[in-house]
Amino acid sequence: MHILLLYGSPRKKGLTAQMLNIMREECEKRGDTVEALFISELTVKPCLGCKVCRDKGACVLPEDDAQRVLKMLQKTDAVIIGSPCYWGNIPGQLKVLFDRLVYGLMRDTPRFPEPLMKGKKCLLVSTATTPWPFNILFNQTRGAVKALREICRYSGFKIVAAVERGGTVKEPKLTEKDRRKCLAAVKKLK
């Protein structure tokens, strides 16, 4: 299986990255081919909202890392997306990337959007400083996961699991329970 990991946090050693690293190691142990990208290292200009890509199937902006990520998504079997919670949502850099990829993730039709990533699996990870259970009740990690679910659902990805972790300030280290949740989620990618 070919798996793409999208690290949506700018913190390379933060809990989101640590959780994705656990998943990455497990996938590699299984023999999967794994590619990983740190979104904060990409150069992606913001979408202009012109919607030309919807008709032409290509973005009008000069080529940047958005097209590279789209090509990677097209050839992968599964994607694991990790995102910290920023104001109950995903970080802006991750949102800008998905805004730029819309033409390659779904196609407009007269009735409903046609998903272009059908048959691919997806696993979502979100962390928040808000302690458990308030990270869920106040739509912190739940808000980030909800935003990612919308993007992935319209794109046609089958979401196999979502792992949410709150209280990253009070409990800044991963626990054995966190590790088990990550490993259990990866098993659902098979």
149-186: pLDDT as tens digits:
999 999 999 999 999 999 999 998 999 999 999 999 99
Residue 102 clears pLDDT 90, i.e. is over it: yes
> Structure pTM?
0.95
Identify whether the C-beta of residue 36 lies closer than 8 Å to the C-beta of residue 5.
yes
**What CATH number is given to the structural domain containing 101?**
3.40.50.360
Percent of the chain with pLDDT over 90: 86
| pLDDT the model gives residue 73 | 98
| pLDDT the model gives residue 55 | 87
Give every CB contact of residue 75 below 8 A, 6+ residues apart in sequence.
2
How many separate domains does the chain show? Answer: 1
Average pLDDT, the chain: 95
Alpha helices (H) along 49-140: 52-56, 65-75, 92-105, 134-137
36-81 pLDDT tens trace:
999 999 999 999 999 999 889 999 999 999 999 999 999 999 999 9
Task: Look up the domain containing 144 and give its range.
Answer: 2-187
